[in-house]
């Protein structure tokens, strides 16, 4: 078992290094873009330090540019891991120096390190132990930088240190678990791809040899039917000669053995009887009819059955021939591709697992934005459930049915989790304030729509196929717009507000009303329902309010079930 594991590691390590270098390049580009972009936050929220922070960012971005330039140079190709570690350590140092200027451990700027950890660890192919070790190293850089610059520590700083340490540890552990899952998936996928490449190489070599053999033997068949019979006995694939009605006139021993019968037992029987019933019509239209018209058939895939009813996936090629004194015969070479198809399905399944891991990483990043002010831990799950209920009901509307498809609902439920991701740019003093916000503070809070939109625009740049990121940008930007035009950030009204944002707006308000806050108790469903109905045509799209009313029982059930899930002791 140890030797087998070692052999697998030796096989996939080169591919894993190539993958690590490719993803290192992605991480360096993301760092280059986002580290520059977040200078806007410095200007907005700590303007006295903007010049100093801009210098820090400029130096770090210049280092990243140098790394991007050097990583593909021959001497540096095998140093991608070292480059990435240095980049993360330097990034952590820069952010730590900023926190020192902003109050040390009490500064919320350390969240930048958490974003860097979550983003890079979700992209890089790291083992769980590597993720834990690297996360620990980043935490030590942060800890030592702040401690050495802010001694002695008062009680407030020690409390903030404990809180920051808890969140830092939680993020590192969560990302390490994610790394373990993704590494298992990547390892399986790379091994499957390696096996598939080997098999394709063998099949290509085998096919080339077979084509040469068939060509040589066919030349000999023009001189002797005996040599033709010899050819059928030598080719390892199923080689069969049929007439215009698919009656078997000759079959080689290898082919007969594949079907579990003797050649004599199969001759003068119909080849259709050797096919799975669902494939018989397809054989007549895709293979037999073209052959009878004198056409060549290549690479038609179907399923055959052995005498003991075992299914075999095959690939059929054939052409018309003049042999055995007849001119209406067709020769077919039928190749067993069962193993190849099995490996292809395994590769597809591996791709599905990778997609699942990426979506889990997106949800984790959205959860990172929520964890600063969400005490229940289930807000994103509730928003996703309420959104699903509303979209499913809207799909029954004749005018919306072509738009609200199954794919639309799937992407919408995923992207709804990103609605408040821009809150990472809001200062803790405002985001965590237990009382109602002042007008100035509320104006600052409104900026989270723009922050989230910009972040998702950059994240989705060049990836048009990721529909949920496009939806996430719409929702993050417009979920506080109002039907009557009195919302923010742009004061859009009516159907000018994207449908995705209108749906999530109602789901978000319902969850806010039915959840407790430091400045208000949780409303029951009836109270929330009354307020939502009152806001129909003002804050909310009347069609979506009607959808809510038709499915309100599911809202009540979903809210109760998710509350029990988040607080099992309450049951």
* pLDDT tens readout for residues 430-457: 888 878 889 999 999 999 999 888 888 8
Rounded mean pLDDT of 252-268?
A: 79
Residue 526 has pLDDT above 60, yes or no: yes
If you average pLDDT over each of 18-27, 424-433, 499-508, which comes out highest? 499-508
pTM for the full model?
0.42
- Residue that has been written with the tokens 């990121």 in this structure: 469
Rounded mean pLDDT of 305-315?
A: 83
CA 214, CA 263: separation in Å to the nearest integer? 20
Lowest mean pLDDT among 238-252, 273-287, 371-385: 371-385
DSSP assigned state of 125:
-
DSSP 3-state of 294 = coil
Lowest mean pLDDT among 360-374, 386-400, 427-441: 360-374
Res. 355 pLDDT band, cuts 50 70 90:
low
Res. 313 pLDDT band, cuts 50 70 90:
confident
For the four alpha carbons of 8, 13, 15 and 19, in that order, the dihedral sign comes to positive
Rounded mean pLDDT of 324-334?
A: 75
Lowest mean pLDDT among 1-15, 134-148, 510-524, 539-553: 1-15
CA angle 563, 567, 571 (to 5 degrees): 85
Res. 212 pLDDT band, cuts 50 70 90:
low
In percent, how much of the chain has pLDDT > 90?
A: 21
If one compares 440 and 39, the residue with the highest pLDDT of the two is 440
Residue 252: asked if its preceding bond is cis (omega within 30°), the reply is no
For the four alpha carbons of 372, 377, 379 and 381, in that order, the dihedral sign comes to positive
Domain 224-336 homologous superfamily, CATH:
PAS domain (3.30.450.20)
Rounded mean pLDDT of 196-215?
A: 61
b or e along 48-65 (b: 16 or more beta carbons within 10 Å of the residue's beta carbon)? eeeeebeebbeebbebbe
If one compares 254 and 523, the residue with the highest pLDDT of the two is 523
Neighbouring C-beta atoms of residue 404, cutoff 10 Å: 21
Residue 280 has pLDDT above 60, yes or no: yes
Rounded mean pLDDT of 544-563?
A: 89
To the nearest 5 percent, what fractions of the chain are helix, strand and coil? 70, 10, 20
What pLDDT, on a 0 to 100 scale, did the predictor assign at position 571?
A: 43
What pLDDT, on a 0 to 100 scale, did the predictor assign at position 32?
A: 85
DSSP 3-state of 241 = strand
Residue 54 has pLDDT above 50, yes or no: yes
CA 455, CA 302: separation in Å to the nearest integer? 48
Res. 72 pLDDT band, cuts 50 70 90:
confident
What pLDDT, on a 0 to 100 scale, did the predictor assign at position 495?
A: 95
Architecture per CATH, 372-570: Orthogonal Bundle (1.10)
What pLDDT, on a 0 to 100 scale, did the predictor assign at position 554?
A: 93
Rounded mean pLDDT of 50-66?
A: 89
Res. 553 pLDDT band, cuts 50 70 90:
very high
What pLDDT, on a 0 to 100 scale, did the predictor assign at position 70?
A: 84
- Give the burial class of 472: count Cβ atoms within 10 A of its Cβ; 0-12 exposed, 13-18 middle, 19 or more buried: buried
Overall residue count recorded for the chain in this entry: 571
CA 491, CA 95: separation in Å to the nearest integer? 35
Q: Per-residue pLDDT tens for 443-497?
A: 999 999 998 888 888 765 555 545 677 888 999 999 999 999 999 999 999 999 9
Structure token digits, residue 214 = 């068939």
Give the C-alpha distances (Å, rounded to integers) separating 88 from 64, 129, 451: 10, 17, 23
Give the C-alpha distances (Å, rounded to integers) separating 484 from 427, 473, 534: 30, 22, 13
Lowest mean pLDDT among 214-218, 380-384, 437-441: 214-218
| φ, ψ at 299 (rounded to 5°) | 65, 30
Lowest mean pLDDT among 54-63, 92-101, 283-292, 453-462: 453-462
Going across the sheet that includes 297-305, the strands are 248-251, 238-242, 326-336, 311-323, 297-305
If one compares 25 and 76, the residue with the highest pLDDT of the two is 25
Q: Per-domain residue ranges for the chain?
A: 2-197, 224-336, 372-570
Rounded mean pLDDT of 143-156?
A: 82
Neighbouring C-beta atoms of residue 449, cutoff 10 Å: 25
If one compares 386 and 14, the residue with the highest pLDDT of the two is 386
Lowest mean pLDDT among 58-72, 156-170, 220-234, 245-259: 220-234
Q: Which of 316, 290, 291, 292 is nearest to 303 (CA)?
A: 316
Res. 404 pLDDT band, cuts 50 70 90:
very high
What pLDDT, on a 0 to 100 scale, did the predictor assign at position 46?
A: 86
DSSP assigned state of 293:
T
| φ, ψ at 463 (rounded to 5°) | -125, 65
Q: What is the CA radius of gyration of the chain?
A: 32
What pLDDT, on a 0 to 100 scale, did the predictor assign at position 181?
A: 80
Structure token digits, residue 343 = 């490996």
Computed over every residue of the chain, the mean pLDDT equals: 81
What pLDDT, on a 0 to 100 scale, did the predictor assign at position 271?
A: 85
501: left (phi over 0), alpha (psi -120 to 50) or beta: alpha
């Amino acid at each position: 078992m140890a030797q087998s594991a070692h052999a697998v590691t030796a096989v996939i390590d080169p591919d894993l290094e190539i993958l690590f270098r490719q993803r290192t390049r992605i991480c360096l580009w993301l760092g280059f873009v986002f580290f520059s972009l977040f200078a806007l936050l410095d200007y907005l929220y700590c303007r006295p330090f903007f010049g100093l922070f801009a210098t820090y960012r400029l130096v770090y971005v210049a280092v990243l540019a140098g790394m991007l330039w050097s990583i593909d140079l021959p001497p540096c190709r095998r140093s991608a891991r070292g480059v990435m570690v240095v980049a993360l350590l330097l990034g952590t140092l820069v952010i730590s120096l900023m926190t020192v200027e902003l109050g040390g451990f009490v500064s919320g700027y350390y969240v930048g390190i958490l974003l860097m950890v979550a983003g890079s660890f979700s992209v890089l192919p790291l083992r769980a132990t590597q993720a834990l070790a690297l996360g620990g190293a980043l935490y030590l850089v942060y800890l030592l930088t702040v401690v050495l610059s802010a001694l002695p520590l008062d009680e407030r700083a020690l409390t903030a240190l404990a809180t920051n340490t808890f969140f830092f540890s939680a993020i590192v552990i969560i990302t390490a678990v994610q790394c373990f899952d993704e590494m298992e998936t990547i390892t399986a996928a790379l091994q499957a791809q390696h096996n598939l490449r080997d098999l394709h190489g063998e099949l290509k070599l085998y096919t080339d040899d077979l084509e040469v053999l068939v060509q040589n033997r066919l030349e000999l068949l023009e001189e002797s039917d005996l040599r033709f019979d010899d050819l059928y006995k030598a080719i390892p694939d199923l080689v069969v000669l049929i007439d215009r009605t698919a009656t078997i006139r000759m079959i080689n021993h290898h082919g007969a053995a594949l079907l579990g019968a003797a050649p004599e037992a199969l001759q003068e029987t119909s080849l259709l009887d050797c096919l799975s019933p669902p494939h018989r019509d397809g054989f007549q239209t895709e293979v037999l009819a073209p052959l009878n018209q004198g056409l060549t058939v290549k690479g038609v895939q179907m399923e055959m059955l052995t005498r003991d009813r075992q299914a075999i996936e095959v690939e059929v090629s054939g052409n018309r021939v003049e042999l055995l004194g007849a001119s209406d015969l067709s020769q077919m070479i039928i190749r067993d591709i069962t193993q190849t198809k099995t490996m292809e399905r395994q590769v597809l399944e591996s791709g599905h697992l990778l997609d699942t891991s990426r979506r889990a990483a997106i949800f984790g990043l959205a959860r990172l934005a929520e964890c600063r002010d969400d005490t229940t831990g289930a807000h994103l799950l509730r928003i996703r459930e309420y959104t699903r209920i509303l979209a499913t009901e809207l799909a029954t509307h004749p005018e919306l049915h072509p738009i609200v498809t199954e794919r639309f609902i799937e992407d919408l439920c995923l992207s709804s989790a990103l609605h408040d991701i821009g809150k990472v740019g809001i200062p803790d003093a405002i985001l965590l304030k237990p009382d109602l916000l002042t007008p100035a503070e509320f104006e600052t809070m409104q900026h989270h729509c723009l922050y989230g939109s910009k972040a998702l625009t950059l994240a989705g740049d060049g990836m048009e196929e990721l529909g949920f990121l496009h939806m996430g940008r719409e929702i993050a930007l417009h979920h506080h717009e109002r039907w009557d035009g009195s919302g923010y950030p742009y004061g859009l009204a009516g159907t000018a507000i994207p449908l995705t944002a209108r749906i999530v707006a109602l789901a978000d308000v319902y969850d806010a009303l039915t959840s407790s806050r430091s400045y208000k108790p949780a409303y029951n469903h009836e109270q929330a329902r009354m307020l939502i109905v009152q806001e129909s045509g003002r804050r909310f799209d009347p069609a979506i309010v009607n959808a809510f009313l038709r499915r309100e029982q599911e809202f009540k059930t979903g809210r109760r079930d998710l509350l029990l899930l988040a607080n099992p002791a309450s049951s």
